[in-house]
Chains A and B, each alone.
Chain A
Amino acid sequence: MIKKEMIAMLLAGGQGSRLGVLTKNVAKPAVSFGGKYSIIDFPLSNCINSGIDTVGVLTQYQPLRLNAHIGIGIPWDLDRNRGGVTVLQPYESQSGSDWYSGTANAIYQNIEYIDTYNPDYVLILSGDHIYKMDYEVMLEYHKAMGAELTIASMPVPWEEASRFGITVTDDNSRIIDFQEKPKEPKSNLASMGIYIFSWPILREALIKNKDVPECDFGKHIIPYLFNAKKPIYAYEFNGYWKDVGTLDSYWQSNMELVSIIPEFNLYEEYWKIYTKTDIAAPQFISGESKIERSLISEGCEIHGEVHNSVLGEGVTVEAGAVIEDSIIMANVTINAGTRLNKAIIAEGTTIGKNCVIGYGDFAPSTYDARVYNAELATIGENSVIPDGVRIGRNTAILGATSREDYPDGLLQSGGAIIKEGDRI
């Protein structure tokens, strides 16, 4: 009989649609962050660093890259004989097949998986936050308070409180009210989407609410337990925590890493972040290159200039290319004479010679103003940019583009070139 005190369920099925072309073909948890990492590395590393060795990862949207990244969990020491990491995808059963219709529904569909480990507690995590947190301390707190549900919450500036789900607590940190994106917040403690449930309580609540359409923790399960007068406590967290939900916040939090002593420090020996990597070779910085204020990962070949940027593994920057304030993901090639300013370039993209990316001034997006509303030029994975073109600000490109896609060799600010369904 297997017995685990606590197991983690990591919700990694979301698209993260506000990351635009970056999540066209990959789920948000698989998007790269900080050069060599993927966003999901942070909760996975937190799990193993907290002594949690059994993690179910629930995937749904574009799971290929995520599955390949997680594999059997070797990079996080989660390849175990008993427990370890298990990827849980929606499945077909005799009564039909259901997608995961909501966060709680996804857990409901995997009750059997959780029961296998006979846990006392279940930790619910989401796969799209950047932070370091010791879940074991949170569990101690959960037990000490005699809670049935503990919600990790962090203080946010009062003026921003209306953007979050707010927990209102009494003097003992017991939650006495919830406010979802309130106009007049009664507290500034925002829920971080990290929950510890006592498993029998959660199990019962999931079964009771199984017919609720799109059953969600925030909207259904937590209010249900609250109305049933279960003891629900807020666990206050004061460290670094970022939801990189938009292109602008994604860019900002990458850029924060290059400051001299960043608030979120990857260089501490304690609480290491692990990731899957295939490249062991060191990077090479050539005689004519110039680099400052940047993070550069393994296997890069730099012959040009890099300022204030984050580069993933195996990036080639040829002579005369200049990169400023940009995020370049793994295996991108930037050819000679090209200039980049405030660009996000996804994996495997090739950019031709003498291009200018981040040209001219900001203009509102004519493609999707909800997603594209910053100065950033965003280029999706495995795209091709021909020689000598200029690409404006607040733009999006995906696919193998050629000279004909750029009238007068220019993509105006606010524009987009999306080559649907192209396979190169």
Chain B
Amino acid sequence: MRAIGIILAGGNNKRMRELSRKRAISAMPVAGSFRSIDFSLSNMSNSHVQRVAVLTQYNSRSLNQHLSSSKWWDFGRKQGGLYVYTPTITAEHSDWFRGTADALYQNLVFLKESHEPYVIIAAGDGIYKLDYNKVLEYHIEKKADITVVVKSMDPEDDISRFGCVKMNDDNRIVEFEEKPMATDANIISCGIYIIRRRQLIELLEKANDEDRYDFVKDILVRYKNVKRIYGYKMQTYWSNIASVESYYKTNMDFLSRDVRDFFFKQAPGIYTRLEDNPPAKYNPDCSVHNSIVASGCIINGTVENSVLFRKVYVGNNCVIKDSIILNDVYIGDNTVIENCIVESRDTIRANTTYIGTKDDIKIVIEKNERYSM
């Protein structure tokens, strides 16, 4: 492979509300059995990128746990491997990562000690399937300095939380605005970049000399007229986890057969840490409709239009509708949950009711005593 990979997985986002209290966004559970970083990691592995670094900072414990073995994604080889880097105190400084460019700069050694000519930078919060080799071919063909993977959004999508780009007929990026107040653009950056390794080292060193720390603002936006920055249009599914709303919607997208077929049935696959749970168990009188159920669940009640992660127990006469139940949740009998996201390892008492609305998804966090069965 001609490239190394770096996954930026350090950020927090207040719009994730309580869900990011105990985990990094890249470790957010997605689609029943996965974590959001699994998508970028699987793309790296499927594109035969052999050396991959994950840069993490906020709540890194959750992510470290998920990445405790690299075998699930087929890394951990003599040639290459998976490296997890957190901020560290050195002789020169004791700073946190002050921005995405600073995170890369503080790990310059990783870049300098590699010999592959290109670097693929991806975000840990993107849900997509992409062959980075195709992007790299495009990058070389366009003689680009930096290639940014972009996506056309529907007019009704709120794009104010993204970086918006405008491209000329040759797909060269002529305008780049970060989180614009108002824009007529509908093409956004997916936070996936390809750049020559030496070029990146040079840009990072220069940014650091000028006390600039943000990859988008201080490199992409600042250099857009100086460097040849191209957009590569991704045509397939892409979504990112940046707010409770987008998190809820992304999970619910997997109720569509097209989305499941794209991610799970078409090669190559998406990989994750496996957990050796038994098959899901459907007891008499349960009623499950239009839902995703992961391994190890035991269902006695009613589940509709919902996503159940691993090892969820649903008691008798419960009604779970339009909700996301994260890993290892125990729900006592006769409980009603609608339009909620239930935090992992919660124990929900019998005879309780939690109702959110479509516009205001309720986040349920309950730490009751659980009597083991």
* Chain A interface residues toward B at CB < 8 A: 34-36, 74-75, 258, 260, 266-267, 272-275, 277, 280-299, 301, 306, 310-311
Contact = CB atoms under 8 A, between A and B. Distances in A.
A335 B99 CA distance: 53
Nearest to B271: A280
Given A35-B279, A266-B279, 4 more contacts: A34-B279, A282-B293, A295-B280, A297-B279
A282 B278 contact: no
A272 B263 CA distance: 29
Nearest to B281: A295
Contacts of A277: 274, 276
Interface stretch (B28-36, B149-157, B339-347): B28-36
A282 B279 contact: no
B298 A267 contact: yes
Q: Name, among B271, B276, B279, B284, the residue most crowded by chain A CB atoms within 10 Å (CB to CB).
A: B279
Given A74-B71, A281-B264, A284-B260, A292 B286 contact: yes
Nearest to B372: A269
B241 to A, nearest CB: 17
23 contacts: A36-B295, A260-B283, A280-B33, A280-B34, A282-B307, A283-B280, A283-B292, A284-B255, A284-B257, A284-B292, A285-B290, A285-B291, A285-B292, A286-B290, A290-B287, A292-B282, A294-B281, A295-B281, A297-B279, A298-B279, A299-B264, A306-B282, A311-B279
B296 A267 contact: yes
Interface of B: 31-34, 71, 254-255, 257, 260, 263-264, 269-272, 274, 276, 278-296, 298, 307-308
Nearest to B283: A260
Q: Main secondary structure on chain A at its contact with chain B? A: loop
A291 B255 contact: no
B276 A272 contact: yes
A296 B279 contact: yes
B173 to A, nearest CB: 35
Contacts of B278: 34-36, 266-267, 273, 295
Contact of B33 (A34, A295, A296, A298): A298
A25 to B, nearest CB: 24
A70 to B, nearest CB: 16
Given A267-B298, A280-B272, A281-B264, A293 B292 contact: no
Nearest to B278: A266
Contacts of A273: 276, 278
A306 B279 CA distance: 14
Nearest to B304: A287
Point out which of B31, B269, B281, B286 has the most chain A C-beta atoms below 10 A from its C-beta.
B281
Contact of B32 (A74, A281, A294): A281
Contacts of B270: 280-281
A67 B282 CA distance: 32
B188 to A, nearest CB: 28
A347 to B, nearest CB: 15
Contacts of B271: 280
A274 B276 CA distance: 6
B288 A291 contact: yes
A311 B295 CA distance: 12
A24 B249 CA distance: 47
Contact of B292 (A258, A282, A292, A295): A282
Contacts of B290: 285-287
Contacts of A287: 289-290
Contacts of B291: 284-285
A294 B282 CA distance: 5
B282 A296 contact: yes
